[in-house]
Copies of this chain bind each other. A is one copy, B any other.
Amino acid sequence: MFEAVKDTTRRPGSNRYLRRLLVLCNRLLSERGEANSVSIARDLVAGFRALPDDARGAFFGHLASDFSPDPAALLASAQAYAQSPGAAQLQQVLRDAEPPRQELLRRINRLPGGTADIVAMRRALLGRLGAQPELAAVEADFLHLLGSWFNPGFLQLQRVDWRSPAHLLEQLIQHEAVHTIDGWDDLRRRLQPDRRCFAFFHPQLPDEPLIFVEVALLPDMPAAIAPLIDKTATQPPERSLRTATFYSISNCQPGLRGVSLGNFLIKRVADELKRELPQLRTFCTLSPLPGLARWLRAGAPCESLSRVRAQRLAEAQQTLLAACDGKLERLSDKASLQRLPADAAQALQRLAAIYLTQVSPTTLGDPVARFHLDNGARLERLNPLGDLSEKGLRQSFGLMVNYLYDLKKVELHHENFVLGEVAHSRQLASLL
């Protein structure tokens, strides 16, 4: 038992303590049968939890160096497989290629609560990645396994409302990333009958929402965020609700970064809403452009652009800079922004349109735009002065976007997006 281990190695983080942890890793793996994995895994997890941050770095370093495949053995079996690519050779090469730490994680995952432990370990690992780039392969193994375990077929969609347990609602308040929830009264407004909130859960983390989405049911596609999160807003009559607007999507588990959850969530929520409210005609978002100002400040780089468009881009940049005396940060001032001349306001929209349609398919693109476009949405409308909060002014000079989810076309749009083409409305086309 690890209790004993702890006695002899006074300090978690000492070399001796770390060595014991690695002994546990080896024991957990070396067991031929599987009968005792639970108790060893329990000690291992407890031991890891007690590690101070830098010792965790050392621990992960050992996972990278000591629990990787043996290059020589792998090479030998790859050669055998290349010579004679039969089933036996393939099974051997797979055995030799798989980093032993993958099996280590699988055995930890057998613990009651083991999945949560692994998510927590990965969170720590992600935090070390900047300082220790050599951990990339370890991190890849974590992501690989978590992606398999958190696959959408295993996730459960759950409606969240004022009848949900308080401890769950509390997590919503805490994790809302897009438009901060200001306490219980604010939350209550967001759970009124003209709002919906859904969360994804995994059976192994029954009390921990993975991701949640907030939806406003409205007569029309909204152009600004303020009325949607106004605590005192009155509710329109139910029969007038034709539009479901996804206005906030928040991840709750930093340890699951990179595991795609959101795209499935939106489609399942749309299906769910349609079943409940057949009168819904439109599914759209009201989304921020978190990267716009940054991109403009960087000089609006754009990889490949037709000559005509490149010229329009240059003109619009000029017009906008002229209107703010070359100081883009002025556009983050509400009053200045509201006084912006019409041509400059137009120029700003045109720049945003180019940014969204031309840059999104590249890695320079806006993360929110990439998320929805890759997900099969269509770029529908730009909304100037849509978000006058400090954050909205700073990130995108107040601009917001509606992405439209036409459920019959999401597959088509997605395939086109992968090929570099962004589906967009006539309004957007006219701006280009």
A residues in contact (CB < 8 Å) with B: 31-36, 38-39, 64, 68-69, 71-72, 74-75, 78-79, 81-82, 85-88, 90-91, 93-94, 97-99, 106, 109-115, 133-137, 140, 145, 147-149, 151-154, 156, 162-167, 169-170, 183-184, 188, 203-204, 260, 263-264, 374-376, 410-411, 414-415, 417-418
State the number of copies, please.
4
Report yes or no: A99 in contact with B94, Cβ–Cβ below 8 A.
yes
Q: Are B35 and A375 in contact (CB under 8 A)?
A: yes
B87 touches A135 (CB 8 A): yes
Can you spell out 26 A-B residue pairs with CB atoms less than 8 angstroms apart?
A: A31-B415, A32-B418, A33-B374, A36-B414, A69-B90, A71-B82, A72-B82, A74-B78, A74-B81, A78-B78, A87-B134, A87-B136, A87-B137, A90-B137, A93-B97, A94-B99, A94-B140, A106-B151, A110-B152, A110-B264, A149-B149, A162-B170, A163-B166, A164-B166, A165-B165, A166-B184
**A375 CA / B36 CA spacing, docked (Å):** 9
A33-B418, A109-B151 known, 19 other contacts, Cβ within 8 Å: A31-B415, A33-B414, A34-B260, A35-B375, A36-B410, A39-B411, A68-B90, A69-B81, A69-B93, A71-B85, A74-B82, A75-B82, A91-B136, A94-B99, A113-B153, A145-B148, A148-B148, A165-B165, A184-B184
Given known A34-B263, A72-B82, contact A162–B153 (CB-CB < 8 A): no
Task: Provide the residues of chain B in CB contact with A85, threshold 8 Å.
Answer: 68, 71
Contact call B148/A149, Cβ cutoff below 8 A: yes
Q: Which residues of B contact A113 (CB under 8 A)?
A: 153
User: Which of B39, B82, B148, B375 sits near A106, CB closer than 8 Å?
Assistant: B148
- Tell me, in angstroms, the Cα distance from A203 to B112 when the chains sit together: 15
Is the Cβ of B136 less than 8 Å from the Cβ of A88? yes
Quote the shortest CB–CB distance from A332 to chain B (angstroms). Answer: 33
A112 / chain B contacts, CB cutoff of 8 Å: 153
A78–B73 Cα distance when bound, in Å, is 10
A408 to chain B, nearest CB (A): 11
Contact assessment for B91 and A137 in the assembled complex, using a CB-CB cutoff below 8 Å:
yes
| A86/B145 in contact, CB under 8 A | no
Contacts of A75 in B (CB 8 A): 78-79, 81-82
Give the CA-CA distance A37 to B97 in the complex, in Å.
27
Set of chain B residues within 8 Å of A135, measured between Cβ atoms = 87
Q: Cα distance A137–B81 when bound, in Å?
A: 12
Partner of A140, one of B91, B166, B188: B91
In angstroms, Cα B264 to Cα A167, docked, is 29
Which residues of the other chain, B, contact A86 by a CB distance below 8 angstroms?
Answer: 134
Chain B residue with Cβ nearest A81: B71
- How many Å from the CB of A403 to the closest CB on chain B? 13
By the criterion CB–CB under 8 Å, are A151 and B110 in contact?
Answer: yes
The reply to whether B74 and A93 contact each other, CB–CB distance below 8 Å, is: yes
| A76, closest chain B residue (CB) | B78
What B residues does A90 contact at CB under 8 A? 68-69, 99, 137
Least Cβ–Cβ distance between A188 and chain B, in angstroms: 8
CB-defined contacts of A204 to chain B, threshold 8 Å: 153-154
Question: Which residues of chain B have C-beta atoms less than 8 A from A163's C-beta?
Answer: 165-167
The 10 closest A-B pairs by CB, nearest first: A78-B78, A97-B97, A35-B414, A203-B203, A87-B137, A71-B82, A87-B136, A75-B82, A36-B411, A163-B165
Q: Kindly list chain B residues whose C-beta atoms are within 8 Å of the C-beta of A166.
A: 162-166, 169, 184, 188
* A162→B49 CA distance, assembly (Å): 26
Q: Which residues of B contact A137 (CB under 8 A)?
A: 87, 90-91
Partner pick for A35 among B32, B71, B374, CB 8 A cutoff: B374
Contact partners of A149 in chain B: CB under 8 A: 148-149, 154
By a CB distance below 8 angstroms, the chain B residues around A410 are 35-36
Identity of the chain B residue whose Cβ is nearest the Cβ of A113 in the assembled complex: B153
Known contacts: A68-B85, A164-B166, A203-B154. The answer to whether A418 contacts B31 by CB under 8 A is yes
